[in-house]
């Protein structure tokens, strides 16, 4: 499942939708959802990870990943710069 940080720019939201689509995952509009609410939604959808596209000064900069367990518990899995992610994606040919 993919989403953005809160109150993101249109550019970040658009890129997030494209990334979700390119890997066959769903995009969820963040709105005012908390991490707990996102984790619950991911669990109900059967997703084990949430990728959050974060931005700085209106530009996408990092992807924070949260691992969601079947029990509903979650923890931060790591962060990747958007540049590193794009390079890995291109090298693999897909996500």
- The CATH number given to whatever domain includes residue 57 is 3.40.50.10480
pLDDT of residue 71: 87
Summarize pLDDT for 11-23 with one digit per residue, the tens: 999 999 999 999 8
Only one residue has tokens 């958007």, namely: 82
pLDDT of residue 84: 81
Collect the ranges in the chain with pLDDT lower than 70: 86-95
**Total tally of structural domains belonging to the chain:** 1
Tell me the pTM. Answer: 0.86
pLDDT of residue 95: 47
List the domain range (segments joined by +) for residue 6: 2-92
pLDDT of residue 72: 82
Pull the structure tokens for residue 85.
């992610």
pLDDT of residue 25: 94
Q: Strand ranges (DSSP E) for the chain?
A: 2-4, 49-56, 59-68, 74-81
Kindly report the number of other CB atoms within 10 A of residue 60's CB atom.
24
pLDDT of residue 85: 78
Sign of the alpha-carbon dihedral angle for 84, 56, 72, 77: positive
């Amino acid at each position: 499942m993919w989403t953005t940080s809160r109150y993101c720019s249109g550019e970040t939201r658009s890129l997030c939708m494209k990334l979700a689509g390119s890997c066959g995952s769903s995009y969820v509009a963040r709105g005012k959802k908390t991490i707990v609410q996102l984790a619950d939604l991911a669990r109900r959808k059967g997703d084990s990870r949430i990728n959050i596209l974060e931005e700085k000064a209106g530009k996408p900069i990092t992807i924070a990943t949260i691992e969601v367990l079947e029990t509903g518990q979650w923890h931060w899995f790591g962060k990747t710069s958007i540049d590193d992610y794009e390079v890995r994606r291109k090298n693999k040919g897909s996500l």
